[in-house]
Structure 1
Amino acid sequence: MAGVYPVPTTRTSSILAQTRLTAQLQADQLSILRLQSQISTGRRIALPSEDAPASQRAIHLQQLLELKAQALVNLDTSQSYLDATDSAIANVSSTLNQIRSTALGVANTTSSETTRAAAAAEVSRAIEQLVDVANQNFRGRYLFAGSKTTTVPFTYDGTNVIYNGNERELSSYADIDLLLETSIAGSQIFGAFSSSSQTVSDLQPILTRSTKLSDLRSGEGIGDGSIAISDGNSTRIINLSGASTIGDVADLIEANPPAGRTVTARVGPEGLILDIDDAGGGNFTIREVGGGTTAARLGIYEPLGTLTGPVTGEDLDPILTRTTSLADILGVRAQAIVQSSGPNNDIVIESLTRGSASNGVSLQLVDDSALHASPGLVAGAEQVVYSETAVAARAALSFSGFGNNLLLTGSVTGTSLNNVTIEVVSGGAIGDAATATFDANSKTLTIAVDSAGNTSIQSVVDAIALEGTFTASHDSSDGVDGAYNPLSTVSVGDIGVVTGNTSASGGEAGTIFVYVEAGATTANQVVTALEANSDVTARFRVSLDDSDTSSPGAAGKGNVLPGASATTIDGSGSDLDLTSGIIIENGGESFTIDLSGAETIEDLLNVLNGSPAHVRAEVDPTGKGIIVRSRLSGRPISIGENGGTTAAQLGIRTTTEEIYLTELNYGRGVGTFEGTDFTITRPDGVALDIDIDGAVTVGDVIDRINNHALNTGSGRVTAALNRVGNGIELTASQSSSPGTLSITKAFQSEAAWDLGLIPTGEQSITTSTAATVASARLDFAGANSDLLVTAGIAGSSLSGVAIRFVDSAVGDVATATYDAGTRELTIALDASATSATTIRDAINLEGTFSAALDATSDPTNDGSGVIGTTGVVGITSGGTAEVLTGANTYHQEVQGVFNTLIQLRDAINNFDLASIDRSLESLDVDLDRINFGRAEIGARGQALDLLRTRLEDEEVTLKDSLSKEIEVDITQAISELAARQASLEASMQLMATLFQTTLLNYL
C-alpha cells in the first residue's frame, strides 16, 4: 500500500509537495496500466487478490466447467461403445432370425437328409459367427465380457461354448455424481449362465464374536447408537458407535456396567446373552437412549426388567459372507456353561457335533464329602461319572459312636431331591423312637430323636423309610465306624449338630457327575478330570469360559461351587459333510470335487470356481446360502452327491425331492397312463404295481414306492435319490437270490423312462449292483479257535450286527440267539470250556448266520480251542444291498443363444423333431432377450443424448456466470481510462508549474 501523506496547508515544504505529486502521478499510471490490461484481455481480475470473493466464485465455476467438459467427452466415448454394441446385437438378431427360418424348414417329417445336413451346417456356421460377434473388441475392450474387459468373453471348442466374463456392467460418469452404464454383459444378451429353479437353502450361519454388525438382521445391519443399562439404582449410558462386531458390543457392555455391579455379556449362537451379578439385587433393565432403536435392533430391549435374571437376546439372523467359517453353518453345537460364584471358575462344555442329540446332557458338580461318612476326595483327585440312566440323590449322616453312620438315598431318581438339607433335631422325651418329616418348600428333611439319647439308629432308619421321601442304610465307607449296629443310639451331642445335604448328587438320564472337594477344587482341576473321561471326550469339548476370566494368568484358578450345574441346550442342524465331496457333470464330463480342504465359504467358492467343471459359485444375494451355475452352453449340468450329503446340505444338489415332475426331461414332464405305470419286482418275488397319477414331485413318486401296501417285511425295497450323482435308486436291503430286483414298464406308459428308472426304449431292467453278504472274522488269542461268521442272506440288513459272547453256561455247550431289535447275535457259553466247534454249531443251528472255522491265520485250525473270552467279539460288515440306479432326467442348462443353437444342431443331426420344436421355442425366448437388450442399449443412448443437451445448456449458463464474475465492462473501462489519462495529464501540468516556481515569483 502507498504511503499516507499529510493534507497540504498554505505552508508546505517543497519536498512534501514533490512527493505528493509523484505519488499521484504513479497512482494514475498504475490505474491506466490496469485499465489497459483489462481492455486488452477482457478480464476484470488479473490476480485473486484484486477481488477475493469474485475470484473464489470464479474458481468454482471454472472447476465446474472443466468437469462438465470431461463429462461431455465421457458421453461421446460412452456413445461410441453403445453404438458398437448396438451394431453387434443387430447382427446377432439378424443371424438368429435366419437360423429360425432354416430350422422351420426341417421341423417336419418331409425334410430330406440332405436338407437337414445343410441346415445343421448352417447352424454350425452361425455358432462360429456369433461367437466371433460376441468376442468383438472395440477401442481396446471386449464389449460383452462384463467388467472383465481384457478377457475374451466366449470360447468355442467345436462342441460347447464357455463364457469367461461376468455379469457386471461398466459405468462412466455422465455428469457430476451420475454414473451411467455404458456396457451390457454377454450373459444379458447371449445368455451365459444356467439358472436354478430351487429355492436357495439357508445355511444358517451362527453368531460369533467376529460377526460384523453390518451383517446382522438379514444384512440390514445395526446402526450407530447408545443403550441404557440399569440395575434400578444406577444407570449407565453405553455408546456403541465405535463397535464394528457383535463381540465389540459385548465388550463395551461388560466394560460399562452400572456403578458397583458386574455385567457379563456372552455372544450366543443366535444372539447376545446378558446377566448381572445377583449380589446387588435390583432390577436389570435395558432401554433405548432418546428416540433410538439400538437395543431393539440388538434384540436386548428389556424395559420391564428381569430382576437379577439374564436377558436372552433375539435371533440376530446374520447373513452368510465369504469369510464365514464352514464350522459356523448348518446349525449349532449343544452347549452348557457351569457357573460358580466369583471369577475364573466357569466351565463350558460343547458338543463335538451339531444336532439335537447332545441336548439335555447335564453337568453337575457334587460335594464328594457329603455322600459318605469317610473323608471325601481331595482337590486334584476329582472323579467323573457319566450315567445314561437317572440317578437318585444321596447324602451321608455321620453320628458319633460306632456302627451308626447312614447313607440316605432318594426314593425317586432325578434332580427333584438335589440340595435337600437333612437336620437332626430334638423330639423331646420320646424314648427309642424317631420321626421324619419333609418340607418340600424348604427342601428340608427333619429327623426328630429322643432328647436324652435313647433313639437307636434302627429307629431312625425306620422313621426315614416310613416318611417315604428317602430310604436309609448303613454307610460302611468309614472303616473306623465298624459293622452296622442297629442298637447304636443317637447321642445327645449329635442333636442339632449332625447335618447332611444331597448337593447335586441326583441326576436325570444323561448326566455327567463331577465329584469335587468343596472350597478347594478349581475349575482347572474339573476340566482336567473331564478331559480324562472317555465318555465325555467322545461327545464333548471342555474349556474354561473366557468371559469369566479376569486375567490370563488367573484363568481356571477359581474354586468351583458344589451344586452348580448346567444342561446342554440349543443343539440343532447337522455337521457339514466335507469328506465325501460332490460330483458335477457338465459338458459331457464328470468331475469329482474335493472340498475337504475348505475352511471358509470363500475357500469353498474358490474350489468350485477353480475346478474344470465350468461353473460359477457365489453367495446368494440374500445372504442365505450359495448358488452354483453353469457357464457352459451346449450340455446340461448336474450336481449330485459322491456317496455323502454334501451337495444337499449346501443346497446345490440339482435334483431334489421337491423338483416338480413337470420340470423333468427339459420341461416335457412325465408321461403317465391310467392305472399301473411300472412294476417293481423285489428279490423275494413280491411285485409292486406303481401308479404315479396325482404325483406332483419327485418326492411323491419316492413315497408311492416306499409306502406301497405290499412293500413290507425283510425284503422291503427303498426308493431314494441316488447316493452318487442324481436320479432315483431302488435298494433291496436283503436278498436270498442276488440280482433279481427289477423294474418293468407298463404298456403305453412312459413314466419309467421319463423318471430314468428304465433306459429309454427298454421294457425292463434288473439290478445295477448285486447284493453282497455281511461277515465277521473272529480272531482269538488261542490256537484252533478262529471263526468266520457269515450272514445267511445277502444285503445290508445283517451288516453291523454285534456278536456277543455271554458266560452263562457250564461245560462245552453253547446256545445262539439273534435279536433283530438290538441287532445282536448272542452266544451263551462257558468261557472256560466251550470250544470253537461248539460255537460254530450253535450259530449254524440258530440259522440267521452261518459259521465256519477260519484257517486264514491258523491253517491247522480244528476248532478244538477254547475261546476264553466274553463280550462283543466282532461286528459284521461288508453287506451291501442290491441297488438299481436310475438315470438323471432333470436337466439344468444355460438359457441362452449358444445353448439353443448347439441343441438345435444336434436335434437336426439326430432328426429329433421334438427337440427341434423345443429349440425353436428357446430361440424365440433368445430373440426376445436380444430385443430387450437392444432396447436397453437404445434407452441408454437416448439418455446420453438428453444428458448431452443438458450439459451443453449448463455450459452456456456457467460461462455466462463466469463472465459476470471476471470479465470487464469494456465501455466502463474505456471511460475510466479516459478519466485517468486526463487526471494524469493534469497532474503532470501541475508538476511542471510548481517545479518552475522560484523565490523570485514571490518578491
Structure 2
Amino acid sequence: MSLGPLLPGRIPNSLLFTRSLQNLDRVSSEYLRLQDQISTGLKFQNIGENPSAAIQTIVLQQSLERNEQLQSNVETNRSLLTATEQALGDIGDVFNQMQTFILAGLGDGSSPSEKAQMANEVDTLIQHVVNISNSTFRGRYLFGGSQNTAAPFSISKTDQAVRFNGDLESISSYVSLDNLLGNNVSAGDTLRPLAEVDGTDIDPALSGSSKISSLFGGDGVNLDVIEVTVDTGGGPQTERINLAGAQTINDLITRMEAPFAGDLTVAFDATGIQLTPAAGTVAVADVPGSRTAGKLGIASAAAAGITSTDLNPKLGLQTTLASLNGGTGIGPTAGTGLVITNGSRTSTVDLAGLTTVEDLFNAIKAVDPDTMTGFTEDGSGLKIASRLSGVGFSISENGGTNASLLGIRTFDTTTPLAELNQGEGVPVGTGNDLEITRRDGSTTNISLEGAKTVQDVLNIVNAVDPGVLTLSLQTTGNGFTISDSSGTGPLTIGATDTATKLGIAGSEDGNAELIGANVGAESAPDLLADLNDGAGVPVGAGTLDITRRDGSVVNISLAGATTIQDVLNTVNAVDPGNLTLSLNASGGGFRLADNSGTGPLTVADNAVSTGLGINGTEDGVVPIDGTDPNQQRADGVIDLLFRLSTALRSGDNQSLEAIDRKLDAHLQEFNYQRGSVAGRLRSLDEYANSLADQDLVIQEAIVEVFHTDMPAAITEYTNLQVSIQATQQIAAQTLQLNLFNYL
C-alpha cells in the first residue's frame, strides 16, 4: 500500500497531523484485517466486507449442506438395503430347503415316519421365516412397508396361520437433486403375505358429483377452452367457454349452459354427458391449443344433439353402491350380504343401509379384522385381501347376488376352470369326467370336454336330463350344488379326478333308513324290560312322535307293549308298507324307513324314543353341496411352508408337485427382487462416488472464495508491519515541534 507524502513547508501542523493519522488508520485497518484472516482462516467475517464473495459463499455452503444430506441419505439407504439383502439371502436358503424336502417327500423314497419328521422340520422353518421377516435395522422393520415401527408378521391367535400386520408401501429418499430411490422392499413382492381377490370391473355410473380427476379410469381431463355454437333458428350464437378449474360434472354443466340462457341443456346419464339445444343445432370444437372437447368426445359439427364418449369414472371411497354396474346397483341387501371365510372364521357382512364403497370397506373390516380393502390397479374394481398365510380365503353369497354384483365373489359362473384349486385347474376331456349314480339306480357318465368356465360345466351337466339332474352354484357359500329328482335312492358322484377338483365327489343317501342306537335288541320275542342293560323302555311315559318325509306327524302310543314284536306290530300298523320298523340285524337296534315323500324323517327326542334308540333325523332326498374349489391362498413362502407340511404328513404326491410348481414361480419373482436390491446397491455406490466428487468441487470453490490464502496473507501481513513502522517513524519526525514552528 502506498503512503501519501507528508510535505513540509507552509502546510499547517493540523493538516500534517490529520494526514499522518489517516495513513496510520488505513494501514492499521488493513493490518487488522489480515490479522483476522490469518487467525480465522477466512477472508471475511461479515457480508458487508465483500458482498459478492459472501453471496457466492452462502450459495456454495447451501450446496455443500444439501450434498452432505444426500450423502447421508445414500449411506442410510445403503445400510438398509444391505440389511435387506442379508435377510433375503436367508429366506433364499429356506427356498432351497423346501425344494430338498419336496424331492425327498415325493413318491415312495421316504417312509411315512420320515415324511412326518420332515414336516416337523418344515414347521420350524415357518417360525424361522417369521423371524427373518421381522428383521430390523436401527429400530426399523425392513418388511413392514410404512408400518415399520412394529413387527409386520405374527402367529395368528385364531388359526394355524401367520398374520401380516404391515402394508405394501414403498419408502424412498432423495439420492440426488432429482432422483428418488426406494430403500425398502415390499413384502408383497418378496414374501407374498396376502391372499388377494381382485374384483371385476363394476362400472360406476357417472353422477353430478363425479370428480373431473376421476374420469377415464382416474386419468382425468386437462380442461381448457372450448367453442360452443348454438343455432336455434335465429342465427348462430358462438361462445368460448373456459372450463379450466371445474371440479365436478355439475361444474362442467353449469359453465357450458350459462352463456346460452336456456338455449342449451347439458345433462348426464350413467356413461357421459349430452348437449341438447332448445331447437336447431349445437356444435362443439376445441380452440387452438386445446384438446378438451376431443378428450371428452363432444367435438362435433352442427347436430341436433351431441353425446360424449364413455367418461368411465374411477371407483373411489365415496362412490355410491347404487351407482355401480351402470347405475343398477348391487341388488337387494336386506337379509342377504356377503359371506367371508378366512381360515376358521366365517363372517356375514350385512350390507343393509350401506351407502358408499367406504361404508362397505368399513363393514368388511368390522366383521373380519384380518382383511385389507382397496381398489384394483386400474381403479375399475374392488380389491379385498386376507392378511393370513396358511389358510384359505373366499367371498361368497348369503342368499342374494351382492358378491357377484360387487365383482368379488371368488367362485362364480365366469370363473375359469384353469384358476380353480389355486391355479392347478380342473382336468376335463379325460373320458368319463363325471360318473354319477342317480337316485333311480341308473348311471350317467358325463364328459366335460371343451369346458373353459364354471358356466360351461353348468351348461353341460344341466343338458343331460333337464329339470331332473341339475347342477347350480350354492346360494349361500361357495361351491356346486347337484340335485336329482329321478328317485329316492342315494345319489353318488364318483371320485374321479375331475369331480374331486370340482369339489363334488361324494354321496347323499336319499331316503335312507334311520338307524337306531344299540339298545340290546336282538330278536322279536325279547322283552322290552331286558333292553338297555335291564333298564327297559318306559313305553307308558309318552308317545313315539314321528315327523314323516311328507311333512305329516304321527304320534304312536306303545302303552301295553311288552316285547320287541309288540313295538314292531304297533308301528308297522300305522301305514303298512310305507312306514316300517324293523330290527337292525347287526347293530342291536331298530331301523325305521318311510317312503311317504322325500323330506327328512325325524323321531322326536323323548323317553320312549331314547329307550328304543331311534331318536334322531335322516335328511331324505337333498342335494349334494360340494366344497369350495376356489379358495384363495397367499401363495407366498410362508403359505407354501404350511401347505408343504400338510402334504408331507398326508403323503400327498399331487399336492407336493403343485407346491413345487408354485415354489418355482415364487422363487423366480423372489430372485428378481433380490437382483433389484443388488442393482439399487450398485446405483448407491455410483451416487456415493458422484456425491463425493461434487463435495470436493464445492469445497474447493468455498476455499477459493471464502478461505484465506495463507502464504499471500502472511507475506502481505509482514510487509504491512514494516510499512506501519516506517509510517510511525516518518510521522514522528515530521510532527516533532521546535522553536522554529512558532516563528
TM-score range, shorter chain: 0.7 to 0.9
Q: Distance in 2 between the 1:658 and 1:211 partners?
A: 30
Question: Matched residues in 2 for 1:660 and 1:207: separation?
Answer: 30
CA distance in 2, matches of 1:676, 1:898: 34
* Matching residue within 285, 292, 295 for 2:293: 295
Q: Which residue identity lines up with residue 176 of structure 1 in the other structure?
A: L
Deviation (angstroms), 1:58: 1.5
Query: Is it true that 1:240 corresponds to 2:243 in the alignment?
Result: yes
TM-score (norm 2): 0.76
What letter is aligned with 2:640?
T
Cα distance in 2 between the residues matched to 1:646 and 1:313: 31
1:191 positional shift = 2.0
Distance 2:439 2:486 in 1: 11
* Equivalent-residue separation in structure 1 for 2:185 and 2:655 (angstroms): 30
Aligned equivalent of 2:478, options 715, 726, 734? 726
Question: Match for 1:239: what amino acid?
Answer: N
Could you say which residue in structure 1 is the equivalent of 2:302?
305
Residues 1:942 and 2:694 are matched in the alignment: no
1:175 correspondence with 2:176: yes
Tell me the percent identity: 32
Residue 222 of structure 2 aligns to a residue whose secondary structure is coil
Distance in 2 between the 1:27 and 1:220 partners?
Answer: 71
Equivalent pairs, count: 628
* Partner of residue 452, structure 2: 696
Instruction: Give the secondary-structure state (helix, strand or coil) at the position aligned to 1:591.
Output: strand
Tell me, in whole angstroms, the C-alpha distance in 2 between the residues paired with 1:10 and 1:680: 143
Render the CA deviation track for 1:115-134: whole Å, top value 9, x for unaligned. 12221211111112222222
Counterpart amino acid of 2:668? D
CA contact (8 A) 2:433 2:498 kept: no
Q: 1:201 to 1:744 in 2, by over 3 A?
A: closer
Distance 2:734 2:262 in 1: 96
Cα RMSD (Å):
3.4
Q: Which stretch shows the higher mean deviation, 230-239 or 126-135?
A: 230-239
Cα 1:240–1:167 shift into 2, 3 Å = same
Aligned to 1:254: 257
Which of these residues, 629, 638, 644, is aligned with residue 898 of structure 1? 638
Mapped to 2, the partners of 1:271 and 1:662 lie a distance apart of 37
* Aligned mates of 1:203, 1:699 — CA distance in 2: 20
- Counterparts of 1:189-208 in structure 2, within 5 Å, are 189-196=190-197, 200-208=199-207
- Using the alignment, how far apart are the partners of 2:66 and 2:101 within structure 1? 52
Q: Report Cα offsets for 1:798-817 as digits up to 9, x if no partner.
A: xxxxxxxxxxxxxxxxxxxx
Write the distance in 2 (CA, Å) between the matches of 1:921 and 1:673. Answer: 22
Q: Using the alignment, how far apart are the partners of 1:744 and 1:201 within structure 2?
A: 32
CA contact (8 A) 1:147 1:169 kept: yes
Deviation at 1:620, TM superposition (A): 0.9
Offset of residue 222 of structure 1: 1.2
| Greater RCO, 1 or 2 (C-alpha within 8 Å, sep 6+) | 2
Shift of 1:149: 0.6
Matches within 5 A, 1:82-101: 82-101=81-100
Name structure 1 gaps, 5 residues minimum. 333-353, 355-572, 769-792, 796-880
Aligned to 2:323: 328
Displacement of 1:594 after TM fit?
2.0
Q: Is the 8 A contact 2:172 2:180 kept in 1?
A: yes
The unaligned stretches of length 5 or more in structure 2 are: 513-548, 552-620
- 1:537 maps to which residue? none
Distance of 2:503 and 2:294 partners within structure 1 = 53
Match in the other structure for 1:491: none
CA offsets 1:127-152 (integer angstroms, 9 cap, x no match): 12222222223321222212211232
Q: Which residue of 1 aligns with 2:736?
A: 996
Closer/same/farther in 2, CA of residues 969 and 717 from structure 1, 3 Å limit: same
Q: How has the CA–CA distance of structure 1 residues 66 and 24 changed in structure 2, closer, same or farther, with 3 Å as cutoff? A: same
Q: Report SS of the residue matched to 2:173.
A: strand
Cα shift at 1:992: 3.0
Q: C-alpha deviations, 1:630-681, integer Å up to 9, x for none?
A: 3222222222111111111111111122333344344152365425733474
2: CA distance, partners of 1:610 / 1:985: 91
Are the structure 2 counterparts of residues 695 and 267 from structure 1 closer, same or farther at C-alpha, using a change threshold of 3 Å? closer
Measure, in 1, the Cα distance between the counterparts of 2:402 and 2:474: 13
Contact 2:322-2:330 at 8 Å conserved across structures: no
Structure-1 separation of matches of 2:10 and 2:299: 91
Aligned to 2:707: 967
Give distance in 2, aligned partners of 1:767 and 1:132.
55
Match of 1:932 among 652, 672, 678: 672
Cα distance change of structure 1 residues 84 and 590 upon mapping to structure 2, 3 Å threshold: same
Contact conserved, 1:595 with 1:604, CA < 8 A, in 2?
Answer: yes
Name the residue aligned to 2:544. Answer: none
Q: Does 1:754 align with 2:496?
A: no
**Which of 412, 419, 426 is equivalent to 1:669?**
426
Which of 311, 316, 336 is the equivalent residue of 2:311?
316
Q: 1:673 to 1:606 in 2, by over 3 A?
A: same
Contact persistence 1:744–1:765 (CA under 8 A): no
Partner-residue secondary structure (3-state), 2:62 = helix
| 1:767–1:703 Cα change, 3 Å | farther
Displacement, 1:21? Answer: 3.4
**Judging changes above 3 Å, is the alpha-carbon distance between structure 1 residues 275 and 53 closer, same or farther for their aligned structure 2 residues?**
farther
Q: What is the TM-score when the length of structure 1 is the normalising length?
A: 0.58
Partner of 2:23: 24
Matches of 1:12 and 1:301 in 2, distance apart? 94
Q: What displacement does 1:703 show?
A: 0.6
The structural deviation recorded for 1:623 is: 0.9
In structure 2, the partner of 1:536 is: none
Cα distance, 1:1002 vs structure 2: 8.4
TM-aligned CA distance change 1:692 to 1:47, over 3 Å:
same
Is contact 1:146–1:183 with CA below 8 Å preserved after alignment? Answer: yes
Separation in 2 of the partners of 1:168 and 1:266? 40
Query: 1:9/1:682 Cα in 2 relative to 1: closer, same or farther (>3 Å)?
Result: farther
1:59 Cα offset (Å): 1.1
Conserved 8 A contact 1:614-1:632: yes
